[in-house]
Structure 1
Amino acid sequence: MVVNAAVDAAVFLLLLGAAVVGLTAADAGPGAADADADGDADAVANVLATSTATVNYTLSPGARRAAESGADFERTAGPEFERTTHGSLAGLLARAAVGTAGFGDDPVTHARDDFRSAVRDAVAARLEPVGLRVDAVWRPYPDSPVEGRVAVGEVPPATATTDTATLSVPAGTRSLAANETRDFSSLSSAVARRTVETLAPAGQMRLALRGDAPVSTLVGYRYDRLAAELNTSVDSRTADADTEAANRRLAAALAPRVESDLRARYDSPEDAAAAVGVAEVRIVVRTWEAGR
C-alpha cells in the first residue's frame, strides 16, 4: 500500500525535517481504516497510514535554545514562529523523528520540539494509547551515533503478548546504489552523505539561508551544531550559502566514524549494506490486551 503524505510549504521552508513523499505499509491488512487501538497491530498501522491530521506548533523553543547558545535572534516568539502542517499520521511521525534527530539523546536543534509534541497529541487523539505503543525511528544503521525517534503510548508490560506491524516511510534521501556498497570505504562515505543530506537537505537549506529570519537564523544555527558535533567548521561555506560544500565537509567528517562502526559490527560490506536504513523511517506498532 502506498499513500502520498502532504507536506505544507512551511515544512519545506523550515527544512528541519524530512520531506515525506510516500508511505509503504508492511503487514497492514486491508479495510482497517476505521480501526482503533482496540484492533490488532495491522489495523492500527493502517489507521496511521490512511488517517490525516493538521497540527499547529511553534519554533520558539528552538529559537530560545539557540539564542542561549549565542544565535542572533531579534526575538524568539511571535507570529513568524508559528507553523501549521498537515499529513498522514505516519508521515507526521516520520517527519518528527527526523526533525528531532541528533547525536545521542540530544537533538541537533530544538526547533522541532513542539512539533514532536503536537504530533504525539494528534496520534493519541486518533488512537487512544491504551494497549498500544507506536515507535517511529530513523537511524542510518543499527547503533548509529545519529538517531531520531518519537514514541506514543506506554512500553508493553513484560508479561504481555504483543501483536506487531511495521510501516516504512521515506526519510527524504536516496537509497544506496550498488556501486556504493562494494567496500567499507565507499559504503561509509555514501551513508555519511545520506545522513547529512537527511539532516540538512542542501537545496532547501540554501534557499533558507538566503531568506529571512527566523528561518535563516535557525538553519545557520543547525549547521553550527552539526559542525560542532562532527568537530569541523562550515562557517565560510554557510556564510556564502554554499550548502553543497558545507554538506560535503560534514559528510567527510562523519564518514570515518561510520566506517569504524560498520567494520566493527559486520563481516563484509554486503552485510553492512543490508543493515543500512538511512533512507527510511520505520514505524513499529505494538498492541496488546490492556490489563494483562
Structure 2
Amino acid sequence: MHRDRGISTVFDVLLFLLIVSAAIGLLVTGYSEESEQPTMETASDVVTILSTSTETIVYTPDHSTVNTTDIDTRSDYGTVAHLLATAAVLEAEKSGEEIAATPAYTQAVTEATKGATAPVEDRVQVRAIWEPVPDGSVKGEVIVGDSPPPDKDVQAASISIPVATTDTPEQAEKSTQALSTVLAQATIESLFDTHRTKTAMESSHDEAEISIARYQDAATTLDTDLSIALEQEDNSLARSILVGALEEEYRRDIVRNPDSVSDISDKAAPTEVTIVVRTWSA
C-alpha cells in the first residue's frame, strides 16, 4: 500500500512539472518578439473609441459683445462623439454665414478628439457633419485631422449621434410648407436646446447675456428681429421667431431640391449629426 502511494506521488510530481513547463513555454511564446502585433487601428475601432471615451472640456465663452464677470470658463461632459456632434451644430452656417457659433467650444472639442485618437492621429481624419436638410443652405461641420494621402488605402466608418428628440410627423411628408415648418422647429431645437437655453436665460446675468448674444447672432444671420422677445426675456417667443425665419429658408431649399417631399423628409436629419472616420496605413 505504501509502495503504490509512493509511485503515485512521484507520478503526480512529474505531471505537475510537465504542466508547469508547458505553461512557461506558453508564456514565453505569448511574449515572443516575433508575435504579430496590430499595425493600424481600423476606422471602426476609432468610432468605438469616440463613442465610448468620455471627456470633460473647459472653454471660455467668446462673445466679444458680452462682458462676463462671474463666468471665466464653462465646461461640458460627454462622450467624444457627443461633444463632436454638439460642436458641429454650434458651427452651423447658413449659406456660409455663421448662425450662432462658439469657436472656443469647437477648439476644446478638437483637442479632446485629438487626445482620444492620439495613437493614430497622423493617419486618421474625423468629420462631424450636421445637415438638417439635404443639399440645403444650413450646414455645420467640424473636421479633425488632415485628409488621407491620395496613394493610401483608406478605411471608413460612421456613426449617427442624436442632438435633439423631435420626430417628423407623417403629415409633414405630404406638404412643402408642413415639412419646412417641422424641419425648422427641429433645427432651432438642436441649435438652442430648450432646457439649457431657458435655464441660462433665467440664471446669472452673465449666463443670460451669453444666451442672448447667441440669439442675436442667429437673428442677424436669419435676417429677423428678436428685440421684443429678448427685452421680455421670452425664450419661447425668440425661438418661434427664429423658426419662422428659418422655415422660409427651408421652403426655398425644398422647392429647389429635385427630390420629392417624401424623399427629402426621409433624408433630412435636423436632430442627428453624422460622424465619419477615415483611417489609412502609415
TM-score by length of 1: 0.77
- Residues 93 and 222 from structure 1, CA distance in 2 versus in 1: closer, same or farther, beyond 3 angstroms? same
Task: Indicate the percent of aligned positions where both proteins have the same amino acid.
Answer: 29
Residue of structure 2 equivalent to 1:121: 111
Residue of structure 1 equivalent to 2:63: 63
How far, CA to CA, are the matches of 1:125 and 1:232 in structure 2?
A: 40
Shift of 1:105: 4.1
Q: 8 Å contact 1:81–1:214 — kept in the other structure? A: no
2:85 aligned residue (89, 94, 99): 94
Is 1:247 aligned with 2:249? no
Alignment of 1:227-238 (within 5 A): 227-238=219-230
- Name the structure where helix makes up a greater proportion of residues: 2
Q: 8 Å contact 1:266–1:272 — kept in the other structure? A: no
Counting matched residue pairs gives 243
Q: 8 Å contact 1:40–1:163 — kept in the other structure? A: yes
TM-score by length of 2: 0.79
How far, CA to CA, are the matches of 1:243 and 1:79 in structure 2?
A: 22
Alignment of 1:261-280 (within 5 A): 261-280=253-272
Residue of structure 2 equivalent to 1:82: 73
Query: Structure 1: which 5+ runs fail to align?
Result: 1-35, 68-72
How far, CA to CA, are the matches of 1:285 and 1:214 in structure 2?
A: 37
Letter in 1 for 2:112: A
Q: 8 Å contact 1:37–1:127 — kept in the other structure? A: no
Cα RMSD, aligned residues only = 2.0
Residue of structure 2 equivalent to 1:187: 179
Shift of 1:189: 1.0
Residue of structure 1 equivalent to 2:42: 40
Query: Structure 2: which 5+ runs fail to align?
Result: 1-37
Task: Find runs of 4+ consecutive structure 1 residues off by over 6 angstroms.
Answer: none
- Residues 224 and 175 from structure 1, CA distance in 2 versus in 1: closer, same or farther, beyond 3 angstroms? same
Shift of 1:271: 1.2
1:159 aligned residue (134, 139, 151): 151
- Which string of whole-angstrom CA distances, capped at 9 and with x for unpartnered residues, describes residues 76-124 of structure 1? 4x661212322111111111112232324443344x3122112111121
SS in 1 for 2:122: coil
How far, CA to CA, are the matches of 1:218 and 1:105 in structure 2?
A: 23
Residue of structure 1 equivalent to 2:126: 134
How far, CA to CA, are the matches of 2:273 and 2:222 in structure 1?
A: 23
How far, CA to CA, are the matches of 2:215 and 2:276 in structure 1?
A: 30
